[in-house]
């Protein structure tokens, strides 16, 4: 039986694996390479097929993890090296500097207010989301502490007006900074938690088992695909999700990137990029329900919005999914079995015309919309390759972690004691991730 386990990835799968193992009595190290746990689910607006508010149901678990005596959370942390010996593992972790003393920071946000430079947010940048150079990952972040964009420190943001831009000394050389406004604001609060000279910190731990829960990411469409990156009002389903979210960059207003006007005609193109040379060769299975959710919520925001989904094969495979699809249709959403092949923009209105083959009639038709959403599918986490090498476990031909025997020994890898769950295994929804997390935790504690 394992006494301690390392869980790599703090999304909903990692969180659930951690809570299960920790409640069981195991010491758990839960690490994430971003500044907060929560993963993809923390950024979603709603979850299908019930339209539960995503952060409402996830944040209590995040706080539970935070307060669990058996769980140590390490954010901004990567695994560098792992050695297996007699069924136990020695892992070298690197805690990348947040340039913040996490013990002292209370997440009060005074530093954020003081920072003079706003830059496009990683997640929401394309739809107008901005953040400061010192920022909170998101409002419910755990741990609830600020983080500094490393670019700030080396004067790379000089032209954008960074307050330390004029300084010629490398921040790591100082132990005090008279220039940085965040440092000053924090000192005024009596905290002194901003540490611009902080260095990455190595850390060695010994564990009996490892669970890989590194999740999945949304595929970025190729520039030009249905006008993406060329026409302003073509967005991905992830970006649209953020537009719907009251906690997102538009406070939940579904507005067009081009002019900030509410979109009244919206279309979704399913399987965007699938089967193309650079597209995904597989079905990501959740996008049909994601689109269905997005149409329902859009109609809840404004019932007069016309919503059309261009789809190919409808995946309504899970419990309650079919009823959810029916609900969308009852609410007036149009589902068209169609193959869209071209999109062009009216330069004046910035509206988009979608040309498609209607598979029911065989006719070529077209439709003009004000906002176009590309359902782009899910791809392996970009760090999978590196991590697979570190852990000496295999990836499948698509880049997801390979299970030794998916049917007879699911979630087990080619290294005994290392297990995988959630999006790390492939496209998956939240409930399936939660199931796998419990199962992987069971296997890890039994190891």
Partner 1 sequence: MDEDIRIGAFICDCGSNIAGIVNVPEVVEYARGLKDVVFADEGKWSCSVDYLATMKELIKEQGINRVVIASCTPRTHEPLFKRTIKEAGLNPYLLEFVSIREQSSWVHRDDPQKATEKAKDLVKMGVAKAALLEKGEEIRLPVNTDCLIIGGGMAGMNAALNIADQGFHAILVEKESRLGGLVKDIAAISYNNETVPADEIVNAKAALIDSHPNITVYTNAEIETVEGYIGNYKVTVKADGSREDLDVSTIIVATGMKEIEPVGQFEYGRDPRVITQLQFEGMLKKWNGECAKGNGKISNSKSQIKNNDVVIINCVNSKNESRGCCAIGCHISVKNALALKARNDGARVHILYRDLSMVREEGSSLEAAKKAGVRFIRFPDDRYPEMREEDGRLSVLVNDLLLGEELTIPADLIVLTTGFKGNDTVDDIKGLLKISANPDGFFQEAHIKLGPLDFPSDGISLCGCARSPKSLKEAMEEGTGAAMRASIPMKQGFLEAEGIVADIDLDLCTSCGLCEKNCPYGAIQWVDEKPQVIKALCKGCGLCAADCPKKAITIIHYSDEQILAQMEAALEERAEEKIIGFVCHWCALGGVDMAGVSRLQYPSNARLIRVMCSARVSIDFIERAFELGAAGVLVAGCEFPTCHYITGNYAAEERIKKARKRLARKGYDPNRLWNIWCSAADGPKFANTMRDMVKKLGL
Kindly indicate which of the ranges 73-81, 120-128, 151-159, 402-410 contains the residues binding partner 1, using the contact rule CB under 8 A.
Answer: 402-410
Q: Tell me which of 72, 94, 119, 140 binds partner 1, using CB under 8 A.
A: 140
Are 49 and 288 in contact by the 8 Å Cβ rule? The answer is: no
> Helix or strand or coil: residue 392?
coil
Q: Does 316 sit near partner 1 (CB under 8 A)?
A: yes
Q: Which residues contact 407 (CB under 8 A, 6 or more apart)?
A: none
- 89-97, 152-160, 183-191, 381-389 -> range binding partner 1 (CB under 8 A): 183-191
Q: Please identify which residue in the block is written with the tokens 């907060």.
A: 36
Look up residue 20 and give its two tokens.
């299960």
- Among 42-50, 166-174, 256-264, 366-374, which window interacts with partner 1 (CB under 8 A)? 42-50
Compute the Cα dihedral for 304, 232, 235, 313 and give only its sign: positive
Q: If binding is defined by CB under 8 A, does position 168 make contact with partner 1?
A: no
82-111: which residues touch partner 1 (CB under 8 A)?
A: 103-104, 106, 108-110
Shortest gap between Cβ of 128 and partner 1 (angstroms)?
16
Indicate which single residue of 170, 189, 206, 416 sits in contact with partner 1 (rule: CB under 8 A).
189
Q: Which is closer to partner 1, CB of 108 or CB of 203?
A: 108
Q: Is 337 in the site for partner 1 (CB under 8 A)?
A: yes
d(CA 217, CA 379) in angstroms, rounded, equals: 5
Determine which residue in the list 129, 155, 165, 247 makes contact with partner 1, applying CB under 8 A: 247
Least distance (Å) between residue 93 CB and partner 1:
24
Residues that bind partner 1 (rule: CB under 8 A) add up to a total of 84
Torsion of CA 182, 183, 184, 189, to 10 degrees: 90
- Here's the x/- map for partner 1, 54-83, by CB under 8 A: it reads as xxxxxxxx-x---x----------------
- Given candidates 285, 350, 355, 404, which one binds partner 1 under the rule CB under 8 A? 285
d(CA 422, CA 427): 8
Angle at 238 between CA 235 and CA 242, to 5 degrees: 95
4 lies in the binding site for partner 1 (CB under 8 A)? no
Q: Which of residues 363-392 bind partner 1 (CB under 8 A)?
A: none
Decide the pairing of beta strands 216-218 and 209-212: unpaired
Residue 287 phi, psi (nearest 5): -65, -35
Shortest separation between residue 20's beta carbon and partner 1, angstroms: 5
Task: Give 153-173 as a 3 state SS string.
Answer: HCCCCCCCCCCCCCCCCCHHH
Site for partner 1 in 265-284 (CB under 8 A): 281-284
CB-side neighbour CA atoms (13 Å) of 329 = 8
Among 50, 83, 229, 349, binds partner 1 (CB under 8 A): 50
């Amino acid at each position: 039986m394992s006494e301690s386990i390392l869980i790599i990835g703090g999304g909903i799968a990692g969180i659930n694996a951690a809570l299960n193992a920790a409640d069981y009595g195991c010491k758990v190290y839960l690490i994430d390479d971003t500044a907060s746990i929560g993963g993809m689910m923390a950024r979603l607006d709603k979850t299908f097929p019930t339209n539960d508010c995503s952060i409402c149901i996830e944040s209590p678990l995040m706080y539970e993890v935070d307060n669990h005596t058996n769980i140590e959370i390490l954010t901004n942390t990567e695994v560098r090296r792992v050695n297996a010996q007699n069924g136990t593992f020695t892992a070298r972790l690197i805690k990348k500097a947040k340039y913040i003393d996490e013990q002292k920071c209370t997440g009060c946000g005074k530093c954020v207010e003081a920072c003079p430079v706003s830059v496009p947010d990683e997640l929401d940048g394309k739809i107008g989301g901005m953040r400061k150079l010192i920022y909170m990952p998101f409002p419910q972040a755990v741990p609830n502490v600020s983080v500094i964009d490393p670019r700030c420190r080396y004067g790379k943001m000089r032209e954008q007006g960074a307050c330390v831009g004029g300084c010629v000394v490398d921040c790591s050389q100082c132990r005090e900074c008279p220039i940085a406004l965040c440092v000053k604001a924090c000192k005024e609060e009596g905290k002194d938690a901003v540490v611009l000279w902080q260095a990455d910190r190595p850390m060695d731990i010994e564990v009996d088992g490892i669970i890989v829960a590194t999740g999945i990411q949304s595929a970025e469409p190729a520039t030009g695909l249905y006008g993406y990156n060329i026409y302003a009002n073509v967005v991905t389903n992830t970006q649209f999700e953020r537009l719907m979210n009251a906690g997102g960059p538009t406070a939940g207003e579904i507005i067009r990137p081009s002019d900030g006007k509410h979109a009244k005609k919206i279309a979704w193109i399913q399987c965007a990029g699938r089967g193309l040379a650079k597209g995904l060769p597989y079905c990501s299975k959740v996008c049909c329900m994601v689109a269905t959710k997005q149409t329902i919520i859009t109609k809840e925001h404004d019932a007069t919005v016309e919503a059309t989904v261009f789809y190919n094969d409808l995946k309504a495979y899970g419990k309650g999914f079919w009823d959810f699809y029916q609900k969308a249709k009852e609410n007036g959403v149009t589902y068209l079995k169609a193959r869209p092949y071209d999109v062009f923009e009216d330069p004046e209105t910035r509206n988009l015309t979608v040309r498609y083959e209607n598979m029911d009639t065989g006719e070529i038709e077209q439709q003009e919309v004000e906002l176009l959403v590309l359902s782009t599918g899910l791809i392996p986490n970009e760090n999978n390759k590196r991590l697979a090498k570190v852990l000496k476990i295999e990836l499948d031909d698509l880049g997801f972690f390979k299970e030794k025997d998916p049917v007879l020994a699911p979630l087990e890898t080619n290294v005994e004691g290392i297990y995988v769950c959630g999006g790390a295994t492939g496209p998956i929804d939240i409930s399936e991730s939660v199931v796998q997390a419990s199962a992987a935790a069971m296997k890890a504690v039994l190891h």
